[in-house]
Copies of this chain bind each other. A is one copy, B any other.
Amino acid sequence: MSIKSEMVETAKAAREASLKLANCNTAVKNNALLKMADGLLKNADTIKAANAKDLKTAEGKGLSKAMLDRLTITDKVLKTMADGIKEVANLPDPVGEITRMWKRPNGLLVGRMRIPLGVIGIIYEARPNVTADAAALCLKSGNAVILRGGSEAINSNLAIAKVLQDACKKEGVPDTAIQVIPTTEREAVLEMLKLEEYIDLIIPRGGEGLIRFVAENSRIPVIKHYKGVCHIFVDESADLDMAGKICLNAKVQRPGVCNAMESLLVHKNIAKEFLPRMGKKYQDVNVELRGCDETRKILPYAKPAAEEDWSAEYLDLILAVKVVKDMDEAIAHIAKYGSLHTESIITKDYSNSQRFLREVNSSTVLVNASTRFSDGFQLGLGAEIGISTTKIHAFGPMGLEELTTQKFIIYGDGQVRE
């Protein structure tokens, strides 16, 4: 069978499964999830053996230590995966919720009911835990999922999927609700991206290169973020102790993630007081600073920032620093160089806080808190399938609700159009 017809078969099977899954009740879905969690622990040896194959190939290819770490499945990793699935089982089921209902003058009752999207394609790299996380979120929200992981993790992903599918079967959920694409050919992705008849949404997760490839080749709607160039603006009225703690946390608590701060904007009226204190904190933990001219007058040890530093996503202990003359300049800088991901203002001024929240149209905008809170779990969504900087459908962290859409439901008693 050609790759094209294999993909069509996979997608058709997913579509059929999605129609059944859309009408599975919550208890059935939760039981399947609990069996999935259980299955991962019970089949630890099989999964680790498959993972060992992947690791051997990866070592042969000379993958970096960091990549190998992300690829490795230990008992602890399996425990975390199983716990994550159990958490999803405990979350409320969004499907069938009626979010609003109103009455029209002619007596029609009009409402909106949440339904699954249908079939979701997830294209991701490296970490095999995404296989379990994404499958659990899609199942709970009533969506069939087609998973396409990185070629480095193919054996691990197939082994995990086998366990998840067995759990589905035991609970009467179609096992084709969760499918991993067995081939590692790139052609499979290209074929998948054409199947808009069967697949409702594509979520790519990984490096910017992968995401651009998907976005440029897809006929199916794609929800994505390319990168997170997150800013903190320290206003002239900021509590500088608070600003210090937040700016340190946002940069160094976990520098390799998309909601870490990459650019720091400092109001000129407090720059001379704040920057030396902050610079010291950063020096203590080896953060490299790249500053504008004003910054470097105050912190001569900062490297000069080049134009590309203002839009860089370092994902590392590097920070671009700019002194701005006012809030207008800060907002304009964010509009020009930002990635619509996450921005925070540190301020004691009421109207500045309101203006920043209103005028910065990034997906998450904070006052007096670390950018690191831009995350589904942290914001109380219970789980996260990804973060969107596409303004369509979902903007910001996406939980179960964002994996649904709403249909109009209408109760009449014989109404016709005049």
Binds B, one of A171-179, A283-291, A314-322, A369-377: A369-377
Q: Is A410 an interface residue (CB 8 A)?
A: yes
Q: Is the CB of B221 within 8 A of A368?
A: no
Task: Give A216's nearest chain B residue, CB to CB.
Answer: B219
Nearest CB in chain B: distance from A383 CB, A? 15
Query: Could you say how many copies of this chain the assembly holds?
Result: 2
Task: Give A356's nearest chain B residue, CB to CB.
Answer: B409
Q: Is the CB of A391 within 8 A of B102?
A: no
Known contacts A108-B373, A407-B364, A408-B365: A246-B416 contact under CB 8 Å: yes
Q: Is the CB of B380 within 8 A of A407?
A: no
- Cβ 8 A contact of A414, one of B108, B196, B369, B395: B369
Task: Give A375's nearest chain B residue, CB to CB.
Answer: B417
Q: Is A132 an interface residue (CB 8 A)?
A: no
Q: Is the CB of A372 within 8 A of B407?
A: no
Known contacts A221-B392, A373-B108, A417-B253: A368-B406 contact under CB 8 Å: no
Residues of B within 8 A of A161 (CB): none
- Cβ 8 A contact of A372, one of B102, B110, B222, B417: B417
Known contacts A380-B102, A392-B393: A414-B365 contact under CB 8 Å: no
In the assembly, what is the distance between CA of A19 and CA of B370, in Å?
Answer: 25
Binary contact track A398-418/B, C-beta < 8 Å → 1, others 0? 000000011111111111110
- Cβ 8 A contact of A362, one of B253, B353, B395, B407: B407
Q: Is the CB of A23 within 8 A of B253?
A: no
Q: Is A26 an interface residue (CB 8 A)?
A: no
- Cβ 8 A contact of A221, one of B22, B365, B390: B390
In the assembly, what is the distance between CA of A361 and CA of B369, in Å?
Answer: 41
Binary contact track A32-68/B, C-beta < 8 Å → 1, others 0? 0000000000000000000000000000000000000
Residues of A102-129 at the interface with B, using a CB-CB cut-off of 8 Å, are 102, 104, 108, 110, 113, 115-118
Q: Is A242 an interface residue (CB 8 A)?
A: yes
Nearest CB in chain B: distance from A195 CB, A? 13
Known contacts A117-B392, A395-B407: A414-B368 contact under CB 8 Å: yes
Q: Is the CB of B392 within 8 A of A408?
A: no
Q: Is the CB of B412 within 8 A of A358?
A: no
Q: Is A147 an interface residue (CB 8 A)?
A: no
Residues of B within 8 A of A411 (CB): 353, 366-369
Nearest CB in chain B: distance from A406 CB, A? 6
Q: Is the CB of B416 within 8 A of A370?
A: yes
Q: Is A363 an interface residue (CB 8 A)?
A: yes
Q: Report which A residues bind B (CB closer than 8 A).
A: 19, 22-23, 96, 102, 104, 108, 110, 113, 115-118, 196, 200-201, 215-216, 219, 221-223, 239, 242, 245-246, 248-250, 253-254, 335, 353, 357-359, 361-370, 372-374, 378-380, 390-393, 395-397, 405-417
Q: List 10 A-B contacts (CB under 8 A).
A: A23-B358, A23-B359, A113-B358, A201-B391, A246-B415, A365-B410, A370-B415, A378-B417, A396-B406, A397-B408
Further 4 A-B residue pairs, CB within 8 A, beyond A239-B414, A364-B410, A369-B410: A23-B358, A249-B417, A367-B411, A373-B415
